[in-house]
Structure formats: structure tokens, C-alpha cells
Structure 1
Amino acid sequence: MSEKILDVAAGLILRGDGQLLLGQRPEGKSWAGWWELPGGKLEPGETVLEALARELDEELGIKVTEATPWVTYVHAYPHTTVRLAFCRVTQWEGEPRGRENQQLAWVDPARATDVGDVLPATLPPLRWLQLPDTYGISNIGQPEGLPSFLQRLDAALGRGLRLVQVREPGWPDGPDAPSLHTALQAVLQRCRDAGAQVLVNSAHPRAWWAEADGVHLRAADAAQVLAAGQAESLREGLHQQAKVAVSTHDRAQVTVARELGADFIVAGPVAATASHPGEAGVGWEGFEAIIADAGVPAYAIGGQGPETLADAREHGAHGVAAIRAVFR
């Protein structure tokens, strides 16, 4: 990696229909003809959002009125290393136009490469944009709670939930206990019918990860995988679109998640929760400190729910993760 790091603010300008704005680098610039997210380098004394607003005015002629921090990601090009502070821009004044003779295109993030070659550092956020903004964590508890949970799951899926984690540490063991695997199958069926993905917590058998859509690693399990040199084999047996997520409570655990190539992290708890009695929340300042160099999207957990999503995004979260607030 180059010793010189260039700090850049990059904007994901998102219309209400989910379309994203890309610009094509004009002739005379490096990587001419390639498509990228608009933005530019920070000037001395500027914050990321200040630099973004200035660059989008200069580059596109728009005035940003609503933008939130998202993911800071480091990418090494052959001759320089860039630290990209990606921000989501959801409100602006004016119609974007190429003030630097660049072509513009509104694209579906899932099909953005149809427009042409996309800069390598732009590819990760295109994937991240496809993550839902709410992550529901199961709370079946005991076998007799399954019918009630499935009703709540159906209701949540009807409200748009598209990412679920099956996490049931209290499920009874023993040969005579009702099967959690059977419960997982019921959850999978409902989620697949709704177009939702299901991750299995690493407390449960690895064989289940492949049946579902990937794994959510507890922080201790993630550290163990990395220490054992098993990072490269973590995705063995999983399908191509499967996800790996990691729970994190501090920056060291975020480093582990990044080295494992996690698709996203869950960070917190932001506030104390009933599911973790006696565990104080880190607050929003603590949350921001945890995710500052994550390099991947982060869901805020701990006292979160749909009603806190906007607040979470103001502090750099991709979305929120919750148990009770999602499955009501």
C-alpha cells in the first residue's frame, strides 16, 4: 500500500426510486471513460460533509440539503491509496448536470455495471446499497413460542423486513427436545416466499449456514476463526450470494471482521436492552468510534428499531438491528 493516503468524500446520490447517480470520467483524466461516484478530495480544515457539498456543487451544480455519513473505505490504486468517506445524499436542490464535461447516468445499483466499466473502489458500495436497512433477530425462546413467532415474522415480512438472523441460544437441548432445525426450516420457507434472506447465528451448526443464506458470527467465534487461520474457508459450502456478518463491540473486533471479509457488522449496544441486562450502552459517540474504520456497513443494535433508523443513519449506521422492535 502506498504511504500517501488521499482523503476523498464520495456521494451516493439516491433518488426516491432507488436509482443512483454515476459520472463518467472525462478524457484527459486517469481512468478516462470509467464510471464513478461523484465527489473529490477534502481541502484542509473541511469536514467530510462540507467537502462533499462543495464538490457536488462544483461537479454537478446541485446544493446538498440532506446527507449522512455511511462507510469509510480504504482502497489502494497502483499509484495512490484513497480513503473514501462514502455518504448517502437523499435531498438536494437543482438538477445534476456534468459541469466538468462528464457524462451522467442514473442506474439501478444492482445493475450499475451495465453502463460500462466502474472504478474498482466504487464496486463495494454498489453491493452495500443492496443490504436492507433493518435486520431482524429472532426471539422464539422456547419451542412453544414458535407459532406466535411465525405470526410475528409474517407480519414483519409484510411490513418489508428482508433480512433475518436465527439466533436461539436458549433453545432446549437433548434427544427429546423439539427440533430447532425444524423451526429454522419454517422460518426459511416464510422468508424465501417473501424474498428475504436468513442468516444463522454461529451458535448453531455450521451445516445450517449453507441451508440458509450465510452466517452471523458472534465476536468470540469470529476471533477464533481468524486465529485458527480459517478465514479463507469461512465461505466454503455457502452459495454465491450468501452473507457473513459479525457482531462487534469495539474497534479490535471490527478489525477481525474486516480481515474475515465480512459483508457487514452489527455494532453496539448503543443503549441498554432487556436481552442483555446489566450491559451498559456505548451511546452514539461510542458507536461512531467503533465503526470509524470498519470499511463495511454497520447496523446499530441496542434500543433500536424502525423509529430510530433516521437517527442511526445520522451517526453513520447503514441501518438498525433489533429483536423486539422488529417482531411486534
Structure 2
Amino acid sequence: MSEQIVDVAAGLILRRDGKLLLGQRPEGKPWAGWWELPGGKLEPGETVLQALARELDEEIGIQVTAATPWVTYVHAYPHTTVRLAFCRVTGWQGEPRGLENQRLEWVDPAHAGSVGELLPATLPPLRWLRLPDTYGITSIGSPAGLPGFMARLRQALEQGLRLVQLREPGWPDGPASASLHEALQQVLKACRETGARVLVNSVHPEAWWRLADGVHLRAVDAATRPQRPLARDDHWVGVSVHDTEQMAQARRLDADFVVVGPVAETASHPGQPGMGWQAFMDINRDAGLPAYAIGGQGPRTLATAREHGAHGIAAIRAVFGE
């Protein structure tokens, strides 16, 4: 008989200054003294957001006014398996207080471990919070297009862009040419001046992945990989996903995130309808990874994407212009 999975709604309560609320499990509960994200079990008939609002009211005395689904992640503890529906909470009324005799602390997500031992299932969302909400994909085209693109890149970086993918499969001299390598060097220099990360699409040489901050695997390349291609500590791995089978492969590769789509029709493929938000959610359900929506996306669709469970949006024109 298979073990029953316990469904839990967990909230990442984020202040405007970027601080995250953690709670310490009180005496008498399993894992007492360990720190976790506030939340609790779903009751029969509740949606995730309904359960989250109820639990946060009962547990820390706040009334949620703005929350979106994020990542659903299954974690096996020694005596139980939990399916954690992580949600981002960005609006609430009231001041959080421990109504179950638990300590509460606002922490910098990058240094959350400073408060004490963190529950194992709390660690992945802390890592995912490092991902920016916008993923810019290059379309330089040729050496002649590089100066104009660099101007648009610098403008985007000044406006807060912090994640860029070099993707130039149609480069005139080929995707491994010396002229494209020089373009990569210029992109890396500009991004590192602002703290932005650069991933290299897997159509380009593997040596370039390590020169940059990681790789973005095309679905066809991810399918042939038996394991994660780069160490987690030093590099990020993104994967393009178009169906549930490819999502499962991304999980097997221990990817840091996925890009799912196209959600809507794009300027580069006119007349080809996207999969729509329902298909996006179906592919992303129980994925265990943060997902960027792509296809007809941009800053104006970010809120809609998050309402449908996306971490953020990925785009070419909406980020860099023509």
C-alpha cells in the first residue's frame, strides 16, 4: 500500500525590503526548534490559496490580501511525504505574531540559515528566490547587429534585468564562431558590471557554458542528458519544456528552473497559436521547479503569468526591443 501524501500550503511572506518571514516550530511538534515557512494542511474542499489564508490567520494572525501560486514540491520525510504548494504572499493586513507560541523572524533569504536549522523542504524555495522575475533572451542576429543590441542590453540592465540567455542559432558564421564568442565576451562584461547572470544556450559550445554562469538546455538536448551538466554551486541550469514528459526530464536533470511555452502567439511565429494558460498550468502542476512563461510574454503580462503559477516571464522583444 502506497504512503499517503499530505497536502500543505506554505507561504513565502515577502516584505517590500525583500525580507522573508520564517517561524520556529514550537515544542511538542515534530522537528521542534527547526525553522520553516508558515502554513499548514489543506482541509477537505479547500483550494491552496483558501487553505493558506486560513492557516496564516490562525497561525500568525494576518489576513492575506495578495497571494499567487508558485511551485508545488513533493518532499519525503522519514515518516511522511508532503506535497508543498508554495505560494508568494505580497499583501496582508495585520502584524505577524506567533499565535502558537512559535518564534517569528524576518530574514534575508540568502542568509536564512543564520536563525538556526531550516527544515529540509524549506531549502529549495530559498534557492528559487534568487531567480529574477524576467529572463531576457538575445536575438543579435549578426556581428553588424551587435552594437545596437549592446545599447539595448545596457538599457535593460539599468532597468533591473538580471538574467540573460545568449541564444544565436542562426549566427552567420555558425553558433560556435569566433565572432559570436566575441559577442559573448561583450555580453558577459556588461552583465557582470551590474551583477546580472548569463546563461548560454546549448546550441553553443559546452566550454562557453562554463565561461558564463550556466547553460539553458533546449528540450532536444535535455532529452539526451543522463544527468545535470554543471555543478550547482557554480552554475545555473535552465531547460526548455513543452510537455509533461520534458518536465519530468528537467526534474531528473536537477534543473534550477524551466521555461514553458509558447503560451501565446509570438511575433517570430505568426499564425501559430500558443498552448494557453491551462496547458501551461497542466504542464507545471507538481513540477517541483520554478517556471518562466514564454510566448507573447513581457512586463505587462508578468502579473497574469504569476496568477497562473509562473515564477516570471521570458522574452526577446519585450525585454530588448527590436
Q: Report the TM range for the smaller structure's normalisation.
A: over 0.9
2:32 is equivalent to residue 39 of structure 1: no
- The alpha-carbon deviation at position 294 of structure 1 amounts to 1.2
Counterpart for residue 215 of structure 1:
215
- The alpha-carbon deviation at position 286 of structure 1 amounts to 1.3
- Output the amino acid matched with 1:150: M
Q: Distance in 1 between matches of 2:100 and 2:260?
A: 39
- The alpha-carbon deviation at position 173 of structure 1 amounts to 2.6
2:23 is equivalent to residue 30 of structure 1: no
- In structure 1, which of residues 273, 277, 280 is the aligned counterpart of residue 266 of structure 2? 273
2:310 is equivalent to residue 323 of structure 1: no
- The alpha-carbon deviation at position 239 of structure 1 amounts to 7.3
Between the aligned residues of both structures, percent identity stands at 73
Counterpart for residue 256 of structure 1:
249
- The alpha-carbon deviation at position 285 of structure 1 amounts to 1.0
* 1:295-310 matched pairs, under 5 angstroms: 295-310=288-303
- Output the amino acid matched with 1:191: C
Report if aligned partners of 1:2, 1:76 keep a CA contact under 8 Å in 2.
Answer: no
- Output the amino acid matched with 2:314: A
Counterpart for residue 12 of structure 1:
12
2:180 is equivalent to residue 180 of structure 1: yes
- The alpha-carbon deviation at position 130 of structure 1 amounts to 1.1
Change (3 A) 1:31 1:85: same
Deviates more, 1:165-174 or 1:130-139: 165-174
SS of aligned partner of 1:194: coil
- The alpha-carbon deviation at position 2 of structure 1 amounts to 6.4
Counterpart for residue 99 of structure 1:
99
* 1:40-189 matched pairs, under 5 angstroms: 40-173=40-173, 179-189=179-189
- Output the amino acid matched with 1:51: A
SS of aligned partner of 1:325: helix
SS of aligned partner of 2:248: helix
Report if aligned partners of 1:2, 1:80 keep a CA contact under 8 Å in 2.
Answer: no
- The alpha-carbon deviation at position 306 of structure 1 amounts to 0.9
Q: Distance in 2 between matches of 1:80 and 1:35?
A: 18
Q: Distance in 1 between matches of 2:133 and 2:241?
A: 18
- The alpha-carbon deviation at position 174 of structure 1 amounts to 6.2
Q: Distance in 2 between matches of 1:195 and 1:294?
A: 29
Q: Distance in 2 between matches of 1:35 and 1:164?
A: 33
SS of aligned partner of 2:193: helix
Q: Deviations over 1:203-248 (max 9, x none)?
A: 00000000000000000100011xxx3x05x11xx57231000000
Q: Distance in 2 between matches of 1:151 and 1:63?
A: 45
Report if aligned partners of 1:213, 1:239 keep a CA contact under 8 Å in 2.
Answer: no
TM-score normalized by the length of structure 1: 0.95
TM-score normalized by the length of structure 2: 0.97
Q: Distance in 2 between matches of 1:12 and 1:178?
A: 45
- The alpha-carbon deviation at position 112 of structure 1 amounts to 0.3
Counterpart for residue 205 of structure 2:
205
In the alignment, structure 1 segments of 5+ residues that lack a partner are none
What RMSD in Å do the two structures reach over aligned CA positions? 1.5
How many residue pairs get aligned? The number is 320
Q: Distance in 1 between matches of 2:45 and 2:104?
A: 30
Q: Distance in 2 between matches of 1:297 and 1:147?
A: 33
